[in-house]
Structure 1
Amino acid sequence: MRPMAQIAMVMNLDKCIGCHACSVTCKQAWTDRRGMEHVWFNNVETRPGQGYPRRYEDQEMWRGGWRLNRRGALKLKAGGRLHKLAGIFSEPKLPEIEDYCEPWTYDDRTLAGGPAHGEPDPMVERVRRQASEKVRLAYEQTFMFYLPRICEHCLNPSCVASCPSGAMHKRAEDGIVLVDQDRCRGRQMCVTGCPYKKVYFNHATGKAEKCTLCSPRIEAGLPTVCSETCVGRLRYLGVVLYDADKVTAAASVRDEKDLYEAQLGVFLDPDDRAVQRACREAGIPRDWTEAARRSPVHALISRYRVALPLHPEYRTMPMVWYIPPLSPVVDALTESGHDGEDAENLFGAIDTLRIPLEYLAEMFTAGDTGPVRAALDRLAAMRSHMRALNLGEEPDTAVAAAVGMEPDEIEAMYRLLAIATNEDRYVIPTAAAGDARRLEESALPGGCSLDYAGGPGMGGDGPFGRDSGRRNLPLVSLENFHLLRRRQTSDDAKEA
Structure 2
Amino acid sequence: MRVMSQVAMVMNLDKCIGCHTCSVTCKQTWTNRSGVEYAWFNNVETKPGVGYPRRYEDQERWKGGWVLDRKGRPALRSGSRLKRLSSLFANPGLPSIDDYAEPVTYDYDTLVSAPAGQDVPVARPRSALTGRPVAVTWGANWEDGLGGTPEHGAGDPNLGGGLAEKVRFEFEQTFMFHLPRLCEHCLNPACVAACPSGALYKRMEDGIVLVDQDRCRGWRMCVSACPYKKVYANHATGKAEKCTFCFPRIEAGQPTICSETCVGRLRYLGVVLYDADRVGRAAAVPEETDLLDAQRDLFLDPYDPEVAAAARADGIAEDWIDAARRSPVRALISEYRVALPLHPEYRTLPMVWYVPPLSPVLDAVGAAGGSADDPDHVFAAVTRLRIPLEYLANLFTAGDTDAVAGVLMKLTALRSHMRARSLGDPADRGLLDAVGLTPEQAEDLHRLLAVARYADRFVVPTAHREAATEDQGAAGFRCPVDAGQGPTPLGMPTRRRTDEGAP
TM-score (norm 1): 0.85
- Structure 1 equivalent of residue 323 of structure 2: 291
Change (3 A) 1:176 1:89: same
Q: Kindly provide the amino acid, as one letter, of the partner of residue 75 in structure 2.
A: K
- Structure 2 equivalent of residue 54 of structure 1: 54
Q: Kindly provide the amino acid, as one letter, of the partner of residue 294 in structure 1.
A: R
**Structure 1: which 5+ runs fail to align?**
439-444, 452-496
Q: Helix, strand or coil for the counterpart of 1:275?
A: helix
CA contact (8 A) 1:49 1:121 kept: yes
Change (3 A) 1:207 1:394: same
Render the CA deviation track for 1:25-63: whole Å, top value 9, x for unaligned. 000000011011110000000000000000000000000
Render the CA deviation track for 1:55-105: whole Å, top value 9, x for unaligned. 000000000000101110111010121112222332341000000012124
Render the CA deviation track for 1:91-137: whole Å, top value 9, x for unaligned. 341000000012124887x536x43121110001x242xx5653233
CA contact (8 A) 1:218 1:224 kept: yes
Render the CA deviation track for 1:458-488: whole Å, top value 9, x for unaligned. xxxxxxxxxxxxxxxxxxxxxxxxxxxxxxx
CA contact (8 A) 2:253 2:462 kept: yes
Percent identity over paired residues: 62
CA contact (8 A) 2:66 2:347 kept: yes
In the TM superposition, residue 346 of structure 1 has moved relative to its aligned partner by: 3.3
CA contact (8 A) 1:307 1:321 kept: yes
Residue 173 (1) aligns with residue 205 (2): yes
- Structure 2 equivalent of residue 104 of structure 1: 141
- Structure 2 equivalent of residue 32 of structure 1: 32
- Structure 1 equivalent of residue 95 of structure 2: 95
In the TM superposition, residue 391 of structure 1 has moved relative to its aligned partner by: 1.7
CA distance in 2, matches of 1:107, 1:315: 29
In the TM superposition, residue 397 of structure 1 has moved relative to its aligned partner by: 1.4
CA RMSD of aligned residues (A): 2.1
- Greater RCO structure (CA 8 Å; 6+ sep): 2
- Structure 2 equivalent of residue 420 of structure 1: 452
Q: Kindly provide the amino acid, as one letter, of the partner of residue 140 in structure 2.
A: P
Q: Say which is worse superposed, 232-241 or 140-149, in terms of deviation.
A: 140-149
Q: Kindly provide the amino acid, as one letter, of the partner of residue 434 in structure 1.
A: E
Change (3 A) 1:446 1:265: closer
Residue 373 (1) aligns with residue 408 (2): no
Change (3 A) 1:250 1:181: same
After superposition, residues 178-193 of structure 1 pair within 5 angstroms as: 178-193=210-225
- Structure 1 equivalent of residue 265 of structure 2: 233
Which runs of 4 or more aligned residues in structure 1 lie more than 6 Å from their structure 2 counterparts after TM superposition?
334-342
CA contact (8 A) 1:127 1:358 kept: no
After superposition, residues 272-287 of structure 1 pair within 5 angstroms as: 272-287=304-319
- Structure 2 equivalent of residue 260 of structure 1: 292
- Structure 2 equivalent of residue 353 of structure 1: 385
Residue 116 (1) aligns with residue 168 (2): no
- Structure 2 equivalent of residue 13 of structure 1: 13
CA distance in 2, matches of 1:344, 1:237: 35
CA distance in 1, matches of 2:358, 2:168: 20
Render the CA deviation track for 1:221-272: whole Å, top value 9, x for unaligned. 0000000111100000000110001111011011101100111111111111
In the TM superposition, residue 336 of structure 1 has moved relative to its aligned partner by: 7.9
**Structure 2: which 5+ runs fail to align?**
102-138, 471-496
Change (3 A) 1:252 1:136: same
- Structure 2 equivalent of residue 449 of structure 1: 501
- Structure 2 equivalent of residue 396 of structure 1: 428
Change (3 A) 1:97 1:335: same
Q: Kindly provide the amino acid, as one letter, of the partner of residue 367 in structure 1.
A: G
After superposition, residues 196-345 of structure 1 pair within 5 angstroms as: 196-330=228-362, 345=377
In the TM superposition, residue 159 of structure 1 has moved relative to its aligned partner by: 0.2
